[in-house]
Amino acid sequence: MALLLNCDLGESFGSWTMGMDAAVMAFIDQANIACGFHGGDPLVISNTLTLAKAQGVSVGAHPSYPDLVGFGRRSMNCSADEIKALISYQVAALDGMAASQGLELSYAKPHGALYNDMMAKDEVRHAIMDSMAAYHRPLRLMLQATPQADIHRAEASERGLELYFEAFADRCYDDDGRLLARSKVGAVHSREKILAQVQQLNEQGTITTVSGHTLTLQADTLCVHGDNLEGVQAVEAIRALLRV
Amino acid sequence: MALLLNCDLGESFGSWTMGMDAAVMAFIDQANIACGFHGGDPLVISNTLTLAKAQGVSVGAHPSYPDLVGFGRRSMNCSADEIKALISYQVAALDGMAASQGLELSYAKPHGALYNDMMAKDEVRHAIMDSMAAYHRPLRLMLQATPQADIHRAEASERGLELYFEAFADRCYDDDGRLLARSKVGAVHSREKILAQVQQLNEQGTITTVSGHTLTLQADTLCVHGDNLEGVQAVEAIRALLRV
Amino acid sequence: MALLLNCDLGESFGSWTMGMDAAVMAFIDQANIACGFHGGDPLVISNTLTLAKAQGVSVGAHPSYPDLVGFGRRSMNCSADEIKALISYQVAALDGMAASQGLELSYAKPHGALYNDMMAKDEVRHAIMDSMAAYHRPLRLMLQATPQADIHRAEASERGLELYFEAFADRCYDDDGRLLARSKVGAVHSREKILAQVQQLNEQGTITTVSGHTLTLQADTLCVHGDNLEGVQAVEAIRALLRV
Amino acid sequence: MALLLNCDLGESFGSWTMGMDAAVMAFIDQANIACGFHGGDPLVISNTLTLAKAQGVSVGAHPSYPDLVGFGRRSMNCSADEIKALISYQVAALDGMAASQGLELSYAKPHGALYNDMMAKDEVRHAIMDSMAAYHRPLRLMLQATPQADIHRAEASERGLELYFEAFADRCYDDDGRLLARSKVGAVHSREKILAQVQQLNEQGTITTVSGHTLTLQADTLCVHGDNLEGVQAVEAIRALLRV
């Protein structure tokens, strides 16, 4: 099973444009579409769905904490009930809008600080899983492939929830299978290293950590970026590599 | 076919409470639930759906212009595409959240200035109808019963859209079948006149206008209010009247 | 120097009303006025200032994290620059609006989670102090009277900033001079205990902790509440007590 | 007295960037700074003020209807009291933040739909003028130079308010001294025509209308744009022309 490519999209808002959505859409498999809480507005969502449909890209919801000015990047201390409701609202908005364009929403991937909190805090992850499992039709939850994947699989299985595990194409991993902090030297790969990491992951299911160790990482999908031209060109190169 | 009772609900927001939702829910048939753009937030929506389910009340979306501080009461000059997208987003959010509680969303009724613009401006009404008709499953649109009902029926029929026509229990009508402006003497009925108007509408399908004329008004549902104790008591009395 | 009474006010928003501002204004010395980020909107602020002026109450800004739906009660992970800017913006808005009504803004008291973070995290408190000290005219910062008051005084002094220390009328303190968590038995005082605590604080400058110890607490002002009738009546009783 | 150049700036929001502020700031005299209601956030405002100070540019507030997703471009049906309060709030926020950087706010220019409504509707313009006149220190109001200038001067004079009249460098005027609608052919000038219009306005105080007539237009300042490279280059050319 080939690795899929997922990308955050639809993050423009009103008169503000962000990301090269039209350009990157041609090279990806899964579009994580902002739902209006950190980016995206109803019209942007509608246009992004149209774009995804034209390119045959699978669509997912990209729900966030309600923090437009902070772009969803600041952790907010929400209760489990608040998290369940905000996931449910954003997923439902995307689901119904997608269906009205003849698309089927297939997953959700939390955004920014909500994603980080999902990986770091059991209660946040459980609230997200509870919300996804309570949704009226099955949708997958996308989270990070880590050495804790077995725990996450068990948590999901209890709830009858299916998962996508994602790895990062452009980020260096430490020996514990976590992303090296962006502040560290070598945290973000060059184009050459990106392609090497993708190839190794795709062919051997492993990555080489910052210290040179080889680590197994079971990933279904790779997170790529379409923020700027350099990012889009990297995605194009990854796409070419995976097609071979 | 007996008149239904519809009421705007779920208009609390965060820490701010509005309306006596739990009290009025016992007496109504249709709950118009705020979708987050003029009132309501994901948790309020979730709780309002739970309340509606417990009372066996049918649920509808109550979409608005994006104007929280103005409570959706200020007309905003939105394009047709903006209106289509904001209706679609809000309806979808309610639809998916309702379905996840085992409820089936059955209609939408625009709120405040969007409702007024729908009745006054063809291009707004057509954008709303287009959005409702493009939704992936059939939902009715609720609008005001007026002498223009035949035109509205024809517009809806072209689009394969079904309608609910609503009349107002507590408002005096002018001879053209429009609501008398609130600034006019006698615009808002006393309890006694409310009950008389409801009875006449229910039994004869007519209302008595401000000048004493009798006007035919084909209504499926009556708009009632649960803002305060007086309003709730009026709804209780209307319910008792219609049950006989 | 008699203890002042400060109260959070102006927390209505648009069509949502909160608090018995007009009632409690008669009994307090200092109005902490919401600035639009957790509550309050321009018109509410304007009306609250008018009310304060009519009662001769001193006015302060009550800035918050930008979290309307969470009422500023959820900690947000803001950078020091973000905190400085959001304090500066909110304080300036209140300052200019107050001056235009012939009032002089005299202090700021952070709200909710921002207040809690100010007391718990050095970097948040320093950012707030830096922002207040950089304001173009001197304004006091209000924070909690704790055993760390000397540290806080030194931090403020370095920046040429003056402080108000506040104690709580209705909350039980632990032996470390911190508020007992609301979840604990006896955390919130009865009316009788409120008055006893106020009297002791006013006459002896001490409080009796949950375990019965006597603790010195140097306070300039007492935080009181006008959310509901019971709260307002408590403030009226406190006012009567302090007047003697 | 030479024509000044004013430009809308500080319209970025959170993670979204808009405009080439740093580039255009070098060529203008007056920066109309967004106040957070259509663009701008506290940190963006702070950074824009810093930029203006570094270039010695005069600063004004650029208040808007509260419509972030619509960028303040959709007319909203606000009451006079709402308009007064929203102007006061936004102007005060900018005023205090500017003063804290050692700058003196000198004027306000309403943005987008609020600007258009100010020019088209007496009650909106009067509410804006009332708010500006009630501000605690004198600030000028910037509005469009039109054949109604004498009326506007009289309205301002009654209130003790001073005005800036602005003309547009890049827009064609009709014979009534109004801007030709953007939908019309020739509504937006080429670079060559921009410079000709600026030169004529600067030297003779007149413009040539769409039909070739010469119209007197008393303007204090010219509205220019820094949205993109082409706009910035036009401003640079205008600056060079006016310096001669």
Q: Which residues of D touch C134 (CB under 8 A)?
A: 100
Mutate which: A89, A94, A101, A159, vs B, most B CBs within 10 A = A89
If you average pLDDT over every residue of chain B, what do you get? 96
Residue with the two structure tokens 């005084």: C153
- Picking from D114, D23, D97, D17, the residue whose alpha carbon sits closest to that of residue D62 is D114
- Tell me which residue in B69, B70, B77 faces D74 most closely, judged by beta carbons: B77
- Tell me which residue in D45, D85, D95 faces C96 most closely, judged by beta carbons: D95
As a whole number, mean pLDDT of residues B92-98 equals: 98
> Alpha-carbon distance C16 to B70, whole Å?
10
Q: Which residues of B touch C10 (CB under 8 A)?
A: none
Question: Does D1 score more than 90 pLDDT?
Answer: no
Query: Cα–Cα–Cα angle for B44, D13, B113, nearest 5°?
Result: 45
pLDDT digits (tens, 9 = 90+) for B170-220: 999 999 999 999 899 999 999 999 999 999 999 999 999 999 999 999 999
Chain A closest-CA separation from residue D196 CA (Å)? 31
Q: Hey, which CATH number is domain A4-243, 3.20.20.370, 3.30.1780.10, 3.40.50.970, 3.40.50.300?
A: 3.20.20.370
> Alpha-carbon distance D145 to D168, whole Å?
9
> Alpha-carbon distance D40 to C104, whole Å?
27
- Cβ neighbours around D118 below 10 Å, total: 22
> C80-99 and D42-55 are packed helices; what angle lies between their axes, rounded to 10 degrees?
80
CB-based contact B75:B62 (threshold 8 Å): no
- Picking from C151, C149, C201, C142, the residue whose alpha carbon sits closest to that of residue C171 is C201
Query: C163 in helix, strand or coil?
Result: strand
| Strand A107-108 versus strand A214-216 pairing type | unpaired
- Tell me which residue in B69, B75, B82 faces D66 most closely, judged by beta carbons: B69
Put simply, the chain B residues between 190 and 229 with a CB less than 8 A from any chain D CB are none
What distances in angstroms separate CA B119 from CA A219, B116, B128, B129, B143, one per listed residue? 53, 5, 11, 12, 8
> Alpha-carbon distance C93 to C103, whole Å?
13
Put simply, the chain A residues between 35 and 94 with a CB less than 8 A from any chain D CB are 39, 41, 68-71, 73
What distances in angstroms separate CA A116 from CA A113, A125, B136, C226, D156, one per listed residue? 5, 10, 34, 39, 55
- Tell me which residue in C15, C17, C68 faces B14 most closely, judged by beta carbons: C68
Question: Does D244 score more than 80 pLDDT?
Answer: no
- Tell me which residue in D16, D41, D73 faces A13 most closely, judged by beta carbons: D16
CB contact under 8 A, D66 and B66: no
What distances in angstroms separate CA B65 from CA A65, B69, B77, B98, D9, one per listed residue? 22, 11, 10, 21, 27
pLDDT digits (tens, 9 = 90+) for D154-187: 999 999 999 999 999 999 999 999 999 989 999 9
CB-based contact B85:A43 (threshold 8 Å): yes
Give me the pLDDT at residue B89, please. Answer: 98
DSSP symbol at B220: S
pLDDT digits (tens, 9 = 90+) for C154-167: 999 999 999 999 99
> Alpha-carbon distance B32 to B228, whole Å?
17
Chain D closest-CA separation from residue A55 CA (Å)? 26
Q: Which chains touch A (3 or more CB pairs under 8 A)?
A: B, C, D
Q: Which chains touch C (3 or more CB pairs under 8 A)?
A: A, B, D
Mutate which: A8, A16, A111, vs D, most D CBs within 10 A = A16
CB contact under 8 A, D14 and A41: no
What distances in angstroms separate CA D188 from CA A214, C133, D173, D192, D212, one per listed residue? 62, 47, 10, 11, 16
According to DSSP H, which parts of chain B are helical? 21-25, 42-55, 80-99, 112-120, 122-134, 149-158, 191-204, 229-243
Q: What SS3 string covers chain A?
A: CCCEEEEEECCCECCECCCCHHHHHCCCCEEEEECCCCCCCHHHHHHHHHHHHHCCCEEEEECCCCCCCCCCCCCECCCHHHHHHHHHHHHHHHHHHHHCCCCCCCEECCCHHHHHHHHHCHHHHHHHHHHHHHCCCCCEEEEECCCCHHHHHHHHHHCCCCEEEEEECCECECCCCCECCCCCCCCECCHHHHHHHHHHHHHHCEEECCCCCEEECCCCEEEECCCCHHHHHHHHHHHHHHHC
- Cβ neighbours around C123 below 10 Å, total: 11
pLDDT digits (tens, 9 = 90+) for C127-154: 999 999 999 999 999 999 999 999 999 9
pLDDT digits (tens, 9 = 90+) for C19-50: 999 999 999 999 999 999 999 999 999 999 99
CB contact under 8 A, C100 and D42: no
pLDDT digits (tens, 9 = 90+) for A4-17: 999 999 999 999 99
What distances in angstroms separate CA D221 from CA D30, D105, D164, D202, one per listed residue? 9, 16, 7, 10
CB contact under 8 A, A67 and C76: yes
CB within 8 A of D236, min separation 6: which ones?
D27
- Tell me which residue in B81, B92, B99 faces A93 most closely, judged by beta carbons: B92
Give me the pLDDT at residue C2, please. Answer: 85
> Alpha-carbon distance B100 to A131, whole Å?
9
Q: What pTM, to 2 d.p., does this model score? A: 0.97
Whether ipTM tops 0.85, in short, is yes
- Helix, strand, coil percentages, rounded to 5, for chain D: 40, 20, 40
Token representation of residue D6: 């004013």
> Alpha-carbon distance A89 to C115, whole Å?
30
CB-based contact D105:C58 (threshold 8 Å): no
Percentage of residues in chain B having pLDDT higher than 90: 97
Q: Which residues of C163-182 are buried (b: 16+ CB within 10 A; e: fewer)?
A: bbbbbbbbbbbbeebebbee
According to DSSP H, which parts of chain C are helical? 21-25, 42-55, 80-99, 112-120, 122-134, 149-158, 191-204, 229-243
D76: left (phi over 0), alpha (psi -120 to 50) or beta: beta
Give me the pLDDT at residue D71, please. Answer: 98
Comparing alpha-carbon positions, the chain D residue that sits nearest to B78 is: D74
| Strand C107-108 versus strand C140-144 pairing type | parallel
pLDDT digits (tens, 9 = 90+) for A136-179: 999 999 999 999 999 999 999 999 999 999 999 999 999 999 99
Chain B closest-CA separation from residue A48 CA (Å)? 12
